[in-house]
Chains A and B, each alone.
Chain A
Amino acid sequence: MKSTHSAHLPLWLALILTLTMVIVVRESAVIICQLAGIEKAANIVGLVAMFFILMAWRLLKGLPSWLTQASNTLLVDSGFAFLPVSAGAGLLLFALGDELWGVMLTMIISTLIPLWGLAILANRWLNHDVSIDSTTVEEHKGQL
């Protein structure tokens, strides 16, 4: 199963093709979810549908490198899409009142403990396989 294969396209064309695919999949998901009465699940359904489409493409032909290049370019600026909601979140922080300390403590504990634990676990498990076959994994470290 090939992850990506080289197929050169100018970046602007890659961006247009990627955006067209994303818009078609998402808007189709919206229509299907409206018909099924689950409008709010449209984005998630679109994500899952896109994943399966791309996996089928990958299995049959291998994904073209222009697709990953275009998605990397677009994802760098993805923060723009949630800026209006984020601004509301910034305002909300000052209006939390009594909940402020509880929310802050919950965020700190529930972020740092999993981050630390998962890093230790991944370090141990991924490195365990290095000792079994160091050549393969060293190769992989470079390529991924």
Chain B
Amino acid sequence: MTFDNVFVATFAAILLTLTAHVTARVLARKLSWLPMVITALALVLLFLFILQWDYNDYYDVAKPVFDHLLGYVTVLLAVPLAAMNFKGLPVKKLTLIVILASVVGALLPMSLAYLFALSHDTILAFATRSVTTPIGLSVADLIKAPLAMANLIIIVSGLIGGTLARFLFRGIDDDRAKGLALGLAAHAFGTVEAWQISHTAGRYAAFGLAVNGLVTAVWVPIFISALSI
């Protein structure tokens, strides 16, 4: 499929993406086991295949609009972080957990990628593994890591964490600990899973996701640029 007019092509790209998103949302409500992001992603690819629209052409016209949306979502993540209620919490220990999660979340996957002799671009993309997609893509852009690879890593690792969390949490009885770990290590998918555990777990996961994103977004680009990787 080709378009002569850029405006029409952009409109078609937004419409296609919106249709996939809304359909995935409706399906996820009816079938609770269905991961919404993966369904929406598969639907976009299916629609592109049906319309015989090359992905690169679709992405070229969608990019200017969706880059703005991505920026707005990143900025919006400051709200749950600023609204967090710290009353009664061991703030020092919580801070230590967040710092540990952020450092391990970036350095462990990068070291493993290096050990497995993966390419330079892939190692850089792994720096974003533990942060949520909007922030991860902004960080990837900043450290010159390939965006599609960074996004693949973020999505698949979130899915792995969200799916296997219940098996890992067998000896853990505090929902706050479960939620915090899910938000810090498995970002958006983990947060969705945490909401299934309880509201307390969900709120802690949202906090973990936002604070880890913010902390990692600040130190990772500085660290990468200082090392001149």
Contact = CB atoms under 8 A, between A and B. Distances in A.
Which A-B residue pairs are the 10 nearest by beta carbons?
A54-B82, A89-B152, A102-B116, A122-B177, A119-B181, A71-B79, A110-B109, A81-B69, A140-B88, A50-B78
Nearest to B209: A75
9 contacts: A72-B80, A78-B134, A84-B59, A85-B59, A86-B37, A89-B41, A99-B122, A104-B156, A125-B93
Q: Is the interface of B mostly helix, strand, loop or mixed?
A: helix
A141 B156 CA distance: 31
A138 B51 CA distance: 55
Given A86-B40, A88-B151, A110-B129, 20 more contacts: A22-B76, A40-B142, A44-B74, A44-B135, A46-B74, A50-B75, A50-B76, A68-B83, A75-B73, A82-B66, A84-B17, A84-B62, A99-B122, A108-B160, A114-B105, A115-B161, A118-B184, A125-B93, A126-B90, A129-B93
Interface in B71-126: 71-85, 87-90, 93-94, 97, 100-101, 104-105, 108-109, 112-113, 116-119, 122, 126
Contacts of A50: 75-76, 78-79, 82
A81 B152 contact: no
Contacts of A25: 75
Q: Is the interface of A mostly helix, strand, loop or mixed?
A: helix
Interface of B: 13, 17-18, 20-21, 25, 36-37, 40-42, 44-45, 48, 55, 58-59, 62-63, 66, 69-85, 87-90, 93-94, 97, 100-101, 104-105, 108-109, 112-113, 116-119, 122, 126, 129-130, 133-135, 137-139, 141-142, 147-149, 151-153, 155-158, 160-161, 164-165, 168-169, 171-178, 180-182, 184-186, 188, 190, 200, 203-204, 213-214, 217-218, 221
